[in-house]
Amino acid sequence: MKVTDLELTNFRNYKYLSVKFDDGINYIVGDNAKGKTNLVEAIYTLSFGKSFRTNDTLELINKDSKYSIIKAKTKSETSSKDIDIYLLLKGKKIRVNQKPVERLSQLNEILNVLCFTPKDVNLLKEAPSLRRRFLNQNISKNSQTYLSSLMDYETVLRQRNDALKLEKINFDLLQILTDYLIRLSKPIYEYRQKFVKRINEILKDVYKEISLTDEILKIKYKPFLDSEDHYEEELKELYASTLQEDVKKKVTTIGIHKEDFEIYLGDRNLGIYGSQGENRLAVIALKIAPYFLAKSDKEKPIIVLDDVLSELDTNHEKNLLEYLKTFNQVFITNTKKSDYYQGKYYICDNNVIVKED
C-alpha cells in the first residue's frame, strides 16, 4: 500500500497542508525545524495511530488549536482506502473509508510503515525493551495470533505483578496466574525463533547491498529459556525456583518480557564492539529487512527514513539511494539534496511543501 495524498490540519507546525506523493523515492529536503520530520511523523501515525517521537497526543496538535486532523488516500494494485485520524484534547477518533476503527492494529494491516530515526542508531546499545519492541512490532504485523498471545501475556503479567504486591499474597491465585503465563510463553518464544531465522536470511543480503561488503550481519536471539522439547516443564521449574525472589521484589523477575537479541557482524557483537558507523548501517539494514517479508504489493511496507543520510559517507549514501530505488514507496528527509539522487524532491520551507521535479 502507498500514500498518494496527505492532508494535514493543525498538525504540529502545519496549520494546513495538502500534498500528493508518488511511487518510489519521495525525497523531502529543507533546513532544520522547518517541518520535514513532522511530515513523516504524520505518515507514521497513519500506520500506528501514534507518533514515533512522543506518546502524548497533545504534542501533535498545533499550539494554537484544540484539534488536529490527518487525512490520507492510500492505494495498492487491488484496492484503495481513505484514512482519517482526528486528534482531540481528550483522545482520538480514527476512520477508514468513513467507518470507525475498532483496534489500532487495523491501521497497520492497511498501511504498514517501517521507520528509521536518528535515535535508532543506538538501538543496539540501549535497553533490551527497545529491541523487544522491534521484535513484537514486526512479528505482530505478520501474525494476529502472536499479537493476541502477546496481549494476553501482558495482561496476565500485570495481574501476577499486582498479586505479588498484595500485603497478604494468595499463593493459589499466584500459581494459577503463573501456569497461565507458562502456557502463553511457549507460542511467543516459538514465533520469535521463527522470525529471527527468517529475518537473518534477508538481513545478510540487505546489509551486503548497502555496505558493499561480504561480512554477514545477523541477529542472535537470547531467550531466557531455550528448550525445544520440554519448554513448559522447565519453565515451571524456573518459576518455582524464583518464587521467593518474586515475592521479595514484588515483581515477576523472569519471563519472555525480559528477552533480548544481539546483532553480530561476522563474529563481533556490534552492541559492544561496533563503531558508530557500523551501528548505523546495521540498524538501517535491520529496519529495512522486514520489507521483504511481505508477500504481495498490498502488504509491502512504506519505508520512512528520517535524517538517515547525514552521517553516511558518500559511498554508503550512494549505495543506499541506489538500493531504495527498487522499493515501492520511500520517504527520505534531509537538509540538502543528494548528488546521487536524480528524481522527485519536496522542498519544505515556512510550513509549505513544494514538489520540484
Last residue of a domain, one of 246, 276, 293: 293
Average pLDDT, the chain: 92
Q: What is the pLDDT of residues 120-178, one digit of tens each?
A: 988 999 999 999 999 999 999 888 899 999 999 999 999 999 999 999 999 999 999 99
Measure the CA–CA gap between 170 and 338, rounded to whole angstroms. Answer: 64
Number of domains in the chain: 2
Per-residue pLDDT band at 76 (split at 50, 70, 90): confident
**Is position 117 within any domain?**
no
Q: What is the pLDDT of residues 266-305, one digit of tens each?
A: 999 999 998 888 899 999 999 999 999 987 766 789 999 9
* pLDDT at position 105: 75
State the CATH number of the domain containing residue 153.
Answer: 1.20.1050.90
**Residue 302 in grid coordinates:** 512504506
Per-residue pLDDT band at 108 (split at 50, 70, 90): confident
Measure the CA–CA gap between 181 and 243, rounded to whole angstroms. Answer: 14
- Could you tell me the pTM of the whole model? 0.90
Q: Are residues 228 and 264 in the same domain?
A: yes
Last residue of a domain, one of 293, 312, 332: 293
**Domain limits for position 147:** 123-293
Q: What values do phi and psi take at 260, rounded to 5? A: -155, 170
Q: Are residues 284 and 310 in the same domain?
A: no
Which amino acid is residue 88, in one-letter code? L
Please say whether the dihedral angle defined by the alpha carbons of residues 107, 108, 112 and 117, taken in this order, is positive or negative.
positive
* pLDDT at position 243: 96
**Is position 118 within any domain?**
no
* pLDDT at position 109: 80
Residue 21's alpha-carbon distances to 55, 98, 235, in angstroms, are 27, 22, 50
Residue 347 CA, distance from chain mean position: 26
* pLDDT at position 270: 93
Spatial contact of 283 and 121, defined as CB atoms under 8 Å apart:
yes
* pLDDT at position 311: 85
Q: What is the pLDDT of residues 12-59, one digit of tens each?
A: 989 999 999 999 999 999 988 888 999 999 999 999 888 999 988 899
Query: Worst-scoring range by mean pLDDT, 2-11, 106-115, 227-236, 331-340?
Result: 106-115
Q: What is the pLDDT of residues 206-230, one digit of tens each?
A: 999 999 889 999 999 999 998 888 9
The CA R_g of the chain, rounded to the nearest whole Å, is 22
* pLDDT at position 103: 78
